[in-house]
Structure 1
Amino acid sequence: MQRNQFLDYPEIASLTPPPEKLVILLHGLGSDGNDLINLVPYIQKAMPACHFISPHGIEAYDMASFGRQWFSLQDRSASVVLKLAEKNAPLINELIKHKQKELNITNKNTILIGFSQGAMIAMYLTLTQMESYGATIAFSGRLLPPVNLINRLTPLCLIHGKEDDVVHYEETNNAAKYFTENEIKHEKLIIDNLTHSIDDKGLKFALQFLKNYKMI
């Protein structure tokens, strides 16, 4: 890994060092790690033992001259998107493993929080891990069902605005259906009058979810 490309991202240390858990914040398409790191002040008091990192997408955004992406969405057909997620997942895993090793934290004490495309890759990573994560939270995402479903043990929290005009909220209902069919623990919240964003109601639901599963 080249440090200047992958490992130079915003992070916020735990309030009670050394950290007991690692939180990975995965941003949306065309944004970067400086976006979701802004959530930390709103949730850190409820998660004092967590170290937060907000990596930049592993590729330059290919539909503008700024921003990052986890994989291209120029072609949004399901088969192409799934192949690109599958191709790039090992690089994202490598990034996560690097920080886990630094902090002496394993997957079971790692939480993924993704928004939009970040939620897509968060769910994909979760379902393809040999060792389950502690929990995964997907805001405004769409499920990319892996060819080989490996991990059914990580609980997932799905949150979506009903007025989302970027990723339709039915994508979260579809994900919940998949998780039910595959006996994967999950909780879901569809928020009225919310567009493609994260609000206080969603954050409170996510924090309660983490408490329910004893992750905070």
Structure 2
Amino acid sequence: MTIQRLDGPRLPARQGPAQQLVVLLHGYGSDGNDLIELAKHWHGLLPQADFVAPHAPGLIPGMEAMAGGRQWFGLNDYDPGLLRRDPHHAARIYEKLLAGAEQASPSLDAFLDAELARLKLPPAKLALVGFSQGTMMALHVGLRRRHGSPGAILGYSGALVGAAKLKDQASPPSPPILLIHGTEDDVVPMDALFDSVNGLGEAGIPARWHLCPGLPHSIDQEGLLLGGHFLARTL
């Protein structure tokens, strides 16, 4: 097991020592500088929260010199075109991504442990927020935390990997989960949201969800508002 040290941009709490920790997990081909922008939208709702957006540990081959260009794991087996043409392939495709999520998990777990220890916060004051591949990591790691479940998981435009093993691997209690997805997403088709909710349900894990009409692979103002209020309410 290889553990890589993670770090990334931060936005500290506006009011006194942090009472909550929000960890923002970016998508494939990006880095923490992208998703830390969400913190600026939620600072008013969560004035006592520290925000941090770690850079994923992997560099995408051929993108090393570009801004961003990072990955939590490789996507060689991911084919959004096939998912759009035939959603029945979804389970097989997302299961193929499980090995990558498992490989990246120890580094993210270690980062979360270190951040909670640094701020002297219990696990229930941690929220994981993901976008796209970051949502895959938020769900995979957040539902399997051995040192205490997070207080919330918020996922945008993502998917659940490892659904078949989740019931046996999940660590109770289940955190509140909100999944948000655009109806016109052509990178992670919106059927992934329903597959995720069903997979979570089969593992006995409830989740709330919301579709944003006309939205492609992105986060809109409606999603920001829903997500921010969800975090404020659960943390």
Task: Identify the residue that residue 39 of structure 1 maps to in structure 2.
Answer: 38
Task: Identify the residue that residue 150 of structure 2 maps to in structure 1.
Answer: 133
How many matched pairs? 210
Q: Is the 1:187–1:209 Cα contact (8 Å) retained in structure 2? A: no
The alpha-carbon distance between structure 1 residues 204 and 55, as it changes in their structure 2 partners (threshold 3 A), is: same
Partner secondary structure for residue 187 of structure 2: coil
- Per-residue deviation, 1:201: 0.3
Q: Which amino acid aligns with 1:30?
A: G
Q: Give, in whole Å, the separation in 2 of the partners of 1:181 and 1:72.
A: 27
The alpha-carbon distance between structure 1 residues 107 and 41, as it changes in their structure 2 partners (threshold 3 A), is: same
Q: Give, in whole Å, the separation in 1 of the partners of 2:145 and 2:207.
A: 17
**Which structure has more RCO (C-alpha within 8 Å, separation ≥ 6)?**
2
Task: Identify the residue that residue 121 of structure 2 maps to in structure 1.
Answer: 105
Q: Which amino acid aligns with 1:89?
A: S
Q: Deviations over 1:110-144 (max 9, x none)?
A: 00000000001101012211211000000000101
Q: Report % sequence identity.
A: 34
Unaligned 5+ runs, structure 1: none
Aligned alpha-carbon RMSD (Å)? 1.6
The alpha-carbon distance between structure 1 residues 94 and 209, as it changes in their structure 2 partners (threshold 3 A), is: same
Task: Identify the residue that residue 123 of structure 1 maps to in structure 2.
Answer: 139
Q: Which runs of 4+ in 1 moved over 6 A?
A: none
Question: Is 1:71 the equivalent of 2:73?
Answer: yes
Q: Which amino acid aligns with 1:204?
A: L
Q: Deviations over 1:81-119 (max 9, x none)?
A: 101111220111111111111111232110000000000
Task: Identify the residue that residue 24 of structure 1 maps to in structure 2.
Answer: 23
Q: Deviations over 1:17-73 (max 9, x none)?
A: 210111000000010000011111111100111000000011112353331111111
Task: Identify the residue that residue 144 of structure 1 maps to in structure 2.
Answer: 161
Task: Identify the residue that residue 88 of structure 2 maps to in structure 1.
Answer: none
Q: Which amino acid aligns with 1:11?
A: R
Q: Which amino acid aligns with 1:45?
A: G
Q: Which amino acid aligns with 1:12?
A: L
Task: Identify the residue that residue 166 of structure 1 maps to in structure 2.
Answer: 187
The alpha-carbon distance between structure 1 residues 155 and 162, as it changes in their structure 2 partners (threshold 3 A), is: same
Task: Identify the residue that residue 201 of structure 2 maps to in structure 1.
Answer: 180
Q: Which amino acid aligns with 1:73?
A: L
Question: Is 1:189 the equivalent of 2:210?
Answer: yes
- Per-residue deviation, 1:203: 1.1
Q: Which amino acid aligns with 1:80?
A: K
Partner secondary structure for residue 175 of structure 2: coil
Partner secondary structure for residue 44 of structure 2: helix
How high is the TM-score relative to the length of structure 2?
A: 0.84
Q: Give, in whole Å, the separation in 1 of the partners of 2:212 and 2:188.
A: 14
Partner secondary structure for residue 96 of structure 1: helix
Q: Which amino acid aligns with 1:41?
A: K
Partner secondary structure for residue 72 of structure 1: coil
Q: Which amino acid aligns with 1:194?
A: L
Q: Is the 1:115–1:141 Cα contact (8 Å) retained in structure 2? A: yes
Return 127-136 or 180-189, whichever deviates more. Answer: 180-189
Q: Give, in whole Å, the separation in 2 of the partners of 1:177 and 1:80.
A: 18
Q: Give, in whole Å, the separation in 2 of the partners of 1:7 and 1:159.
A: 26
How high is the TM-score relative to the length of structure 1?
A: 0.91
